[in-house]
Amino acid sequence: MDNSPTALFDSYEQDFQQILQSIRDKLDGEAKDQGGEQKKAALRRVEMELDEADEMVSQMEIEIQGIPQSLKATYQARIRSAKADLTRYKKLSKDMHTQLSRADLLSSRGGGGGVTSDEPYGTSDRMRLLAGNSLLEDGSRRLQESHRIALETEEQGTDILRSLRVQREQIENARDTLGTAETSIGRATGTLKQMIRRYVSLSRLCVPADVVLIAGMYQQRVVTAAIILVLVLLIAIILWEKLPSLFSRTNTPCTRFISSANTLLARGRHATYAASTRLLDMASAFRAYNNLLLRRPLATQCITSAVLFGAGDVLAQQAVEKKGSKHDLVRTARLAFYGGALFGLPITRWFQFLGRLQFASPAKAVVYRVCPIAYSFDPRLTLKCSASQTFLDQSLAAPIAVGWFFAWMPILEAGADFIYLLASVITGIRTYTVAQLGSVRSLSSAQLCLGPPTIPLRLCWCCQFILEAAQRFLGPSSTTVSFTGAQQAEFFKHTSGRWLYNEEEQNASRYVRFDVDEIQRVACAAVGAQRCVQFKKLVEGSYNKIFDLNFDNGAEAIARIPCPLAGPPFITTASEVATLEFVRDVLDIRAPRVYAWSARASANPVGAEYIIMEKIQGVESRRRWTHLAKGPEVFPLLYGVFDIETRFERAPFSQMGSLYFKDDVSPELQDRPLFCADDLPDEDPPDDDPDDDPELLGKLNAAKEKYRIGPIADRQWWRAGRAELPGNHGPWPDMHSFLLAAVNLERAWLHRHASRNVFPRGRRFPSYDISAHLRILDMCAKAIPHIAYPPTLCFPTLWHPNINHSNLLIAPTGPAEIGGLVDWQSSIIAPYCMQAGFPEAFIYTGGLIDIPEGRVTPKLPSHVSTLSPEEQEVYRVHLKLAMRQKAYEQKIVEENIGRSIIFLLPFGAQLGSLPVQVIRSWSDGVVPLRQSLVDLRKEWESVVSENVQCPISFTDEELRAHEQEVQQCLKYEGSIMSLTEDLGCENDGWVADEEYSRAAKMLKERKENWDDEANGGPFPYEDGSNSFFLS
């Protein structure tokens, strides 16, 4: 059979012409001469054949890539001609559909008297209903396509919402600036105290009585509002000018600030005093405000409070939080509302209450209500009045007001910490009371005439309280997202589902404790951020917990913490990090960049091994796999994976094991070379040699001193006490040593643990005693040294452990470009013939379409034409997936001869799974391993290079017994699979939380009705039964 690209192209073109001829016959015959339902059925068959013809054109486009350049132009012209024919017949089919739909529509409108379709007059209602049903089916198909588009749109919307949520959290949790400013707040407090002392000295000046009388004519509240505004402006100027320099990490800006502080404070004092005197020139404006207070006291006071609260929030966001153009107007409006609704009303009522107090004489009433001007009559009376007002205001009003404010804020502003609020209440009451009393005690009776100007003194004393309260509401000064103990406990344990059996052991094997705050700090330092604004569990499996982190600088990262099931923590983590860096920097494979990592829990503050890595943008390919259109959309994914797998072959490693940094392996392994010197490309390659890449050579030479090969990181080699058996974990020089190490490891484990039944849990039925088991291992060990594959297929090769849809991240829309390949944990360097298998992502497992051998295109079964349109659509989707597997196979055959040979090797498929079969032969049963030895015995002459007697021997009776056990195992596996599907659980009994109650109830019923003999073995899902992860 001719397998050249031109011959394959011709065969596809011949199939295309046959399909086209069939379409032509139907359009010119059945679809044209017949009418009604027969015509619709013919058009549906034409539509199916058009899809098949489209697939043929896609295959022709694949084959043309392997055609020599001199012939490619001719074949491209043939493809264009085929596409033109296909387009023409698609248009013709569409036109006939339109005509038929129009005829049906006019017929239904005519109601029996105006028939215009090709059906005879008087069509029955049944026929019309069938025609309408066909229209509905066409509409359903269009709706399904619209639904697919809507799902893709929903994915994009989800990404947008996630981004918006991150931005919102960055705004709402902007606590880093206040945390940094905590030191400067203390300095500002001392500065304000100095201003108070100097202002008191200034206020000792004598003031004429007429000025006092004029000032007393205006309510203290009017003057208070004006002076608050002036003071806020002064504080804003100081903070705006000096806080940025304080935030610097060096001491030079702080020194400049201290040296210029006296000058700024002097200006502030003069400005404050000047503002106080200029208030007398604003009498007309204050008079209007005062009249408004008298006419509408409640509304005016509430509006004033709202403005002051809003202005305070503006100051906090701009001067302290430095938000600039990202000012949160909603928060400002919210706080303004709190000031007007929660604070303005009770303060107004309190002042009105004071105003209604009755005194013994009118003179005392006037004195108590107009304290600032009482000095003109009796200075001693003024002092007594001020002290009385202070006592009433601070003993009754202040505690109630502050308590009222802090009682409502935790409810209105979710997330406020009660402990912090309580501390703010105590500090606020203490500071404000001392300030009020202190301002009165510090003034003589001659100075109390300046009652309104003493208000800035009180405000200065309250600045510490105000700033502290703002800090409390914004949250504690921290670089991390805070969680309660219960919330942190959810991070440590498995929370995404439950197990129907062995649940306690399953949870314990996935529990890992770590310091949540410390890993956020490590990640912040790694990405150059000041604060982590989001920390959430993204996904968790059996081997790792994956956390999603977002930061205040817009960066994103992934934190990966291995579970106990992942294997030895140091080996698992160190090997994964080295592998990620090698494939990214040396092989140019799109893998996540590592920002920070630690392979020793005892040597880091997190308390666990971790990897902080780049978050690859994109979606898992499984979310788009069945929805991808033909050709241009799916080819970037197929060819991208092929390119990645081809790059694996470029590194000529010297041994088999796993990859590590040089410092992470023993001194003895550090002395071994990373690569085989003979297999490295030439330093000065010929210009016409396409296989030698100078850039790759430079990277390989740089890697020689950075990396080394160490123990294998495959978790199966370390589980269930195998880590305690040294000498069998690598690295190894060749394939035979690698395979024999697996046998020796299992032998040693059996001698140490099996006889004592140290690990009795979960042996898969049927099981054997140690002697029978060791006999199988001995035969395997004797046969391994004689397996003789070509050296070009056995060289050590690094490979990704599982290229599936979950690990392939692609663009969310458009062509399926690969954004990255993730999850490199447990990557190993092993023989090329055992590594270069078919990627799991492209294996068709639907079962509806047969995959033919060789270069034969999959086709729809013959009975598909008799199915309903919905069922036909299902088959067409399966055909599309089957053809993608075939397309990838052809890509390998055409462009990688060595790899295509692997698929033809005798015993090649069984050899790849042989180490795992050996290492799991005690827990999973010896039947799979024995079956591999039976297959090797059949292929022995093709596997060995010389005439060697096969060391694998089974009697006829043993082979018959083995065949019976194989059938029993298949029966047992089928019963387990059926039970698993009914329960809706995974193979280890895992179910989602919402399905647990239903599944547990069904499990109990199925267990009561389980028949061991009928199902091939004992009930599999009960405590103590076999589990892949625990055994």
Choose from 29-33, 134-138, 339-343, 657-661 the range with maximum mean pLDDT: 657-661
What's the pLDDT tens digit per position in 550-582? 999 999 999 999 999 999 999 999 999 999 999
Q: Which CATH number fits domain 5-123: 1.20.58.400, 3.40.50.2300, 3.90.1150.10, 3.40.50.300?
A: 1.20.58.400
What's the pLDDT tens digit per position in 863-886? 988 999 889 889 999 999 999 999
Residue 757 has pLDDT above 70, yes or no: no
Superfamily of domain 485-615: Phosphorylase Kinase; domain 1 (3.30.200.20)
Q: Average the pLDDT over each of 433-442, 589-598, 704-713 and give the range with the smallest value.
A: 433-442
pLDDT of residue 339: 77
Residue 619 has pLDDT above 50, yes or no: yes
Q: Which residues lie closer than 8 Å to 87 by C-beta, 6 or more apart?
A: none
What's the pLDDT tens digit per position in 191-245? 666 665 554 444 444 343 333 333 444 444 454 566 567 666 666 665 555 444 3
The residues facing 558 across adjacent strands are 548, 613
What's the pLDDT tens digit per position in 518-560? 999 999 999 999 999 999 999 998 999 999 999 999 999 999 9
Burial of 492 per CB tally in 10 Å (0-12, 13-18, 19+): middle
Burial of 1013 per CB tally in 10 Å (0-12, 13-18, 19+): exposed
CA 881 and chain centroid, separation: 28
What's the pLDDT tens digit per position in 824-842? 999 999 999 999 999 999 9
pLDDT of residue 440: 40
Residue 377 has pLDDT above 70, yes or no: no
593: DSSP letter: P
pLDDT of residue 585: 96
- Residue 116 tokens read as 């215009």
Higher-scoring residue by pLDDT: 583, 471: 583
Residue 24 has pLDDT above 60, yes or no: yes
Residue 291 has pLDDT above 90, yes or no: no
Residue spans of the domains in the chain: they are 5-123, 176-474, 485-615
pLDDT of residue 321: 65
β-pairing, 658-661 with 556-562?
Answer: unpaired
Q: Which residue has the tokens 């207070």?
A: 293
- Residue 732 tokens read as 């190894």
Q: Which residue has the tokens 């209903």?
A: 129
Q: Which residues lie closer than 8 Å to 377 by C-beta, 6 or more apart?
A: 367
Q: What is the mean pLDDT of the chain?
A: 77
- Taking the C-alpha atoms of residue 189 and residue 427, their distance in angstroms, rounded to an integer, is 14
Q: What is the pTM of this model?
A: 0.61
Residue 446 has pLDDT above 50, yes or no: no
pLDDT of residue 97: 77
Cβ–Cβ under 8 Å, residues 627 and 144: no
- Taking the C-alpha atoms of residue 599 and residue 597, their distance in angstroms, rounded to an integer, is 7
Residue 906 has pLDDT above 70, yes or no: yes
pLDDT-derived band of residue 616, with 50, 70 and 90 as boundaries? very high
- SS3 assignment, position 658: strand
Mean local confidence (pLDDT), 801-810:
96
Q: Which residues of 72-93 are buried (b: 16+ CB within 10 A; e: fewer)?
A: eeebeeebeebeebbeebbebb
- Residue 213 tokens read as 């009388």
- Taking the C-alpha atoms of residue 648 and residue 696, their distance in angstroms, rounded to an integer, is 12
Q: Give the helix ranges, DSSP H, for 279-328.
A: 283-295, 297-315
